[in-house]
Amino acid sequence: MVPFVEKIKRLLGVHNEVEAKAKIKRFEDDRQFAAEYYALHAFLAIKDCLLPQGWLWCWRGLDKFSGDKQLLQLMDLINNELGRGGIPTRFSANSKNTIDQETTWTKIENGNKLKILQGSMEIANQMHTISKGTSRMDLINHTLNYYPAYLGYVSDYTWPIAGKLRNPGFNNTLKRLTADIVPFYDFFHFHFGKTLTLDHSDLDVIKHQNKGVIMHHWGSEVRLLSTAKKSNPYAKVKIADESMLKRNLAFFSGKIPHCIVADEEMYQYVKDYYPKVSVVPLMIDLEKYKPLEVAPPLPDRPLKIVHAPTSPEIKGTPYVVSAIEKLKTEYSFEFTLVQKMSHEQARMEYQKADLVIDQLHIGSYGLLAVESMAMGKPVICWISDFMKEKYPADLPIIPANPDSIETILRSLLQHPEQLDEIGRKSRIYTERHHDMMKNSQLIFDIYQEESSANGNS
């Protein structure tokens, strides 16, 4: 990569990262976003070994300054480095490699590896983890995130579009991006009801080019309160408009025949819509989440309890805080609310905990529980009777709901010696059921199966 970076420096006439950032700041201060502004951002992305992000910055620049020679040359260098040199593109300094955007595409041979694009919203770091796991299985799996958040999850392409959603012409911009990026990939793995365009017209483009596609549903975009209440009296939802949720489910299942969900709680919302539904549990890189080698014994210090209210109403945070306030008058312990921290900062807080409280309403567990269990932490979380029957029998989670959280916490404060064994079982459970490589194999098999059905194997 070093010789490649040197080529970019010479092309742009910059000596280092500091100089590039200073130039970018001047552009931003003057609110003059010339072609060079996008080229400099591309350089910084390349310097961080994020070639796809460099490509996206070039594309954004060329979408505004289509004839800029510097951007065109930079785009060619990036495409060659990404192995896309043989794929015709709308933006190229070489006229022989340039095509009209209206060209009818057929499958383009570019190596034997299956090329996947995930997008366009990162949920619980799962796009990145799926990419990391499946990329070790002889395929290329890139991620595109339009909605980066304070958690700081990493993606191959990142374009924050939240501030542009009300711009009446912006969907046309995303349509142009779709036309230019779809030819580089064989299969599209979408998440949370988000695709490449705001109106989801990209799904027709993908179908027209005989590419595979799958939808991965995660929670509030499909969770129906009327259905949830049948098996979980404590259920709450973020979106109350069930007619809208059902319209969306009908739309996506009409375009995409296969969806993935993380567990049986999610399965119940999608099973009557999609012709095919696969259940693939949440996954994490177990090498990044390990129990502390040596933890101070509990009798020598106060118990440390942690709760992360990313969505306070859904998590049941008011009930957690109320129980904690009452118990503080009876017991000595530490309590931390993890809020507005990056994912890495939050992980460090969970590592310090003796007990982690997840949620008290949904009836199933999520990423916080999985990461905490992998670190050997006992987890409190509401598991409905319906889901107790669906989860593996060795699930070590301590169940609690709004009515029982105070009683459960009091029992654990009275008998903290039981936490070590629960924590040990928690680590074993994640190794069995949430290992990135085991579960990535399930995703890989789905990619292979769906790609074969589309003639892309």
Closest CA to 216 of 409, 453, 35, 446: 446
Q: What is the pLDDT of residues 182-233, one digit of tens each?
A: 999 999 999 999 999 999 999 999 999 999 999 999 999 999 999 999 999 9
Quick one: pLDDT at residue 149?
Answer: 83
pLDDT, one tens digit per residue, over 47-73 is: 999 999 999 999 999 999 999 999 999
pLDDT at 457: 56
3-state secondary structure of 190: strand
Q: Are 350 and 374 in contact (CB under 8 A)?
A: no
What integer pLDDT is reported at residue 295 of this predicted model? 61
Enumerate residues 6+ apart whose C-beta is below 8 A from 202.
174, 175, 178, 182, 195, 196
pLDDT at 113 over 50: yes
Q: Kindly indicate the confidence band of residue 94, based on its pLDDT and cuts at 50, 70 and 90.
A: confident
CB of 55 closer than 8 Å to CB of 79: yes
pLDDT in tens, 7-29: 888 888 898 999 999 999 999 98
- State the pTM of this model: 0.93
Q: What is the pLDDT of residues 221-278, one digit of tens each?
A: 999 999 999 999 999 999 999 999 999 999 999 999 999 999 999 999 999 999 999 9
Virtual torsion, Cα 261, 198, 274, 435, nearest 10 deg: -20
pLDDT at position 297: 61
